[in-house]
Structure 1
């Protein structure tokens, strides 16, 4: 068991994610002893935060209709910041796994710990982490902390501490704010599974300092993140205790001890061209008679709208990507269509979010002759994690096709 995991819909630059090796990041717990799971979880919530900022949770469709999900490594180039870079030179010997465990156990309220796991700063590019099963006398709960760096002021830093959009990530409480020292802290009380198929709760704290130090704390109301029965009503630490644990100054020193090549931020060295117009274009192209009940906040190349035609809510998502000709063979198979102007079109109709019976997703994937890709999907549910609200999506395949092929997308640059 560990602190890192989850595959969730994309919420960042999908074009870059597609160019990476496709596949989920349900990491084998036995094989990696939880390596990579905290990072995956942070990516999941960063994607949710990006959705709150306007990026779509759009799943990419590959050949044969298979979902291409982002790998568990950094998922997309982030916008680099002109702000000061985080410390790259370790100020002390790399923190060891044993040190992390002792610190975590010392900072926890009085109780018993077991199931200790840890990894030091010099052991893996995935970064240092520590995990214990903690029991305060009211039942066992897993608690873990992982450390790393992000580029100060970058999109990644913002997304790490932004509350996710409930259209894609359900939760009971989320708050984000600035501390007196300039650090940003997000406290989130959510669930291990977005569809709530089990009652495992997952609460977390994400701290990003002005220097780019990133502290991530997670806890569950079970002895393991997955595969263990719920052992208490809520995770063991309340919000105040979770904040106290995440803001402990000792973690920041440990971050500074991470070797440069192990703890460098995942931000891109240069900022990509800002893209605008996705939301505006999507809303303008929606068929008449649809009431828009929710929409993405920012007007970027990834957008969504939740519509209702009087028969129930339906989520519609779109993503515009630049030159994607290098993966055209993976996206458009023998059953795809090529129009007279060279545009390729693929249609996919299949199940939606895993675990939600009756939820379907209809997708029209298009690529212009110059490689510009416009992919749009519609669901028969208002979110990707809730039960179906209607028999079919509010838009037909023909309507999705008309939207995707509209020349108005050429203005989204």
Structure 2
């Protein structure tokens, strides 16, 4: 899950990852506000986006597999083909057929044609993904699997890890390295981090030393979004999900996929301050009486702190961005103050953007004549997706303005 201050209408998560991106893309902010959670504002930051996508939505690019009816599944660990009803088996891809054979006894049925890759010609669906509706007798549930093959040794450890709990609300998550060297993430959370709906999303994501990746997601509703909850939890426990992604039956399918392209030469490092430097400089400018409880960062341009003044934790985030002149007109309108050196400053105060009950936000936004922008926000909670934990943010507008206009960011 991740957002931060970025260019309006041009570099949203939908632009970077496509319409299949999970909740991150849906919470793209309007002009004058940063994109929260540390996402990437422009195309040259998409490496960070790809990493976060693997954590918060590793099966986002699933295609719909048409089943032409319903059929009976086998059981996890079973190598026998699924039973069939109405000749549905003939239309199954190898992925859907294998999924049917591995799932506990139940029925799989056709998923409504919607989402990425959906077409009227169901046979055009992606050969390494399947998305179905599964019913074990306790309610229908959407279930998706995606298989991919990538160069051994990629990605780095950060790509298969649990989301930051200060940015994403979830019930449970573990990221472990297995005895054979595989990396496994098991996650229990919600389709929407702010829990605006009761739809739960659980997933298992496995990457083997050979570069074989198996990602499975499940929901407690017959569709990821837009369908009423049909059961209290998704059908498979995390133990069963672990068993499912680790099944040997996936290996021949992945081995048949094209070999991954050779890794492109490393690109020049993006411009802008590193996240580590931003954390250090922001910490050094905090008012007296604040204790840093947690911190996080992106590779460049974004960082956050969780601070406490003795009255509860407060989330503070900052974007430090060069070359933002093209959005100046969108960000600085009525109420803008112009300093003697030409720096434009505007402050805002209002409700938070993530839907947490009672969350308030204070923000200061400054842009220098050359387009160098610093925007900093503070909230009366340690996680915007959750309810407020204190009456006001820990920093005042004046304190935020002082940090945003500080010359320390120019060094």
Tell me if both proteins adopt one fold, taking TM over 0.5 as the criterion.
Answer: yes
- Written as runs of structure 1 = structure 2, the 5 A alignment for 1:187-266 is 187-210=186-209, 212-251=211-250, 254=253
Partner residue in 2 for 1:86: none
Which residue of the partner structure matches residue 183 of structure 2? Answer: 184
Tell me how far 1:329 sits from its aligned partner. 3.4
SS in 2 for 1:202: strand
Q: Which residue of 1 aligns with 2:302?
A: 302
Residues 74, 221 of structure 1: alpha-carbon distance in 2 compared, 3 angstrom cutoff = farther
Report the Cα offset of residue 396 of structure 1.
1.1
RMSD, matched Cα: 4.1
Does 1:21 pair with 2:20?
Answer: no
Distance in 1 between residues matched to 2:365 and 2:14, nearest whole Å: 24
Give the superposition deviation at 1:316.
0.6
**CA distance in 1: counterparts of 2:242 and 2:124, whole angstroms:** 27
Unaligned runs of 5+ in 1: 1-7, 27-34, 48-58, 80-94
The farther-off stretch of 70-79 and 111-120 is 70-79
1:63 aligns with 2:31: yes
Match for residue 169 of structure 1? Answer: 168
Contact 1:62 1:330 in 2 (8 A): no
Helix, strand or coil at the partner of 1:235? coil
* TM-superposed deviation, 1:321: 2.1
Matched, 1:358 2:326: no
Identify which of 98, 101, 117 aligns with 1:103.
98
1:36 is displaced (CA, Å) by 4.5
Alpha-carbon distance in 1 for matches of 2:258, 2:43: 18
CA contact (8 A) 1:132 1:144 kept: yes
- List per-residue Cα deviations over 1:77-99 (Å, max 9, x = no partner): 327xxxxxxxxxxxxxxx98731
Contact 2:361/2:380 (8 A) holds in 1: yes
- 2:190–2:198 CA contact under 8 A, matched in 1: yes
Cα distance in 2 between the residues matched to 1:127 and 1:377: 44
| TM superposition shift of 1:171 | 1.9
What secondary structure does 2:377 align onto? strand
Q: Is the 8 A contact 1:280 1:299 kept in 2?
A: no
Shift of 1:259: 6.7
Q: Are 1:78 and 2:67 counterparts?
A: no
- Quick one: structure 1 residues 365 and 64, their matched pair in 2 at CA, closer, same or farther if it must change by over 3 Å? closer
| Displacement of 1:141 | 2.0
Native 8 Å contact 1:22 1:68 kept in 2? no
Q: Deviations over 1:175-231 (max 9, x none)?
A: 112234433211111122323344332111122344544432111122222333333
Unaligned runs of 5+ in 2: 49-63, 67-91
Deviations 1:122-160 (A, max 9, x none): 958x99531112122233222111344666656x65443
TM superposition shift of 1:280: 1.2
Q: Helix, strand or coil: the match of 1:207?
A: strand
Shift of 1:237: 1.1
Query: Retained in 2: the 8 A contact 1:292–1:305?
Result: yes
Could you tell me how far apart the structure 2 residues matched to 1:73 and 1:206 are?
Answer: 27
Q: Residues 407, 150 of structure 1: CA spacing in aligned structure 2 closer, same or farther, 3 A cutoff? A: farther
Which protein has the larger Cα radius of gyration, Structure 1 or Structure 2?
2
**Structure-2 separation of matches of 1:350 and 1:323:** 27
Query: How many angstroms does 1:163 deviate by?
Result: 0.8
- Residues 349/22 of structure 1: CA separation in 2 closer, same or farther (3 Å cut): farther
Match of 1:30 in 2: none
Instruction: Please tell me whether residue 143 in structure 1 is matched to residue 111 in structure 2.
Output: no
Corresponding residue for residue 108 of structure 2 = 113
Q: What's the counterpart of residue 293 of structure 1?
A: 293
TM-score by length of 2: 0.72
Count of residues in Structure 1 that have an aligned counterpart in Structure 2: 358
Q: Please list the CA deviations of residues 22-51 of structure 1 after superposition, one character each: whole Å capped at 9, or x if unmatched.
A: 55659xxxxxxxx943xx23x85xx9xxxx
SS at match of 1:229: coil
Could you say which residue in structure 2 is the equivalent of 1:270? 267
Distance 1:242 1:267, change over 3 A: farther
Distance in 1 of aligned mates of 2:325 and 2:372? 8
Distance 1:373 1:251 in 2: 48
Whose relative contact order is higher, 1 or 2, with alpha carbons under 8 Å and at least 6 apart? Answer: 1
The answer as to whether partners of 2:278 and 2:301 remain within 8 angstroms in 1 is yes
Deviation at 1:250, TM superposition (A): 4.9
Contact 1:122 / 1:258 at 8 angstroms: preserved in 2? Answer: no
SS of equivalent residue, structure 1 residue 242: helix
Asked if 1:388 corresponds to 2:410, the answer is: no
- How far does residue 67 in structure 1 lie from its aligned partner after superposition? 5.9
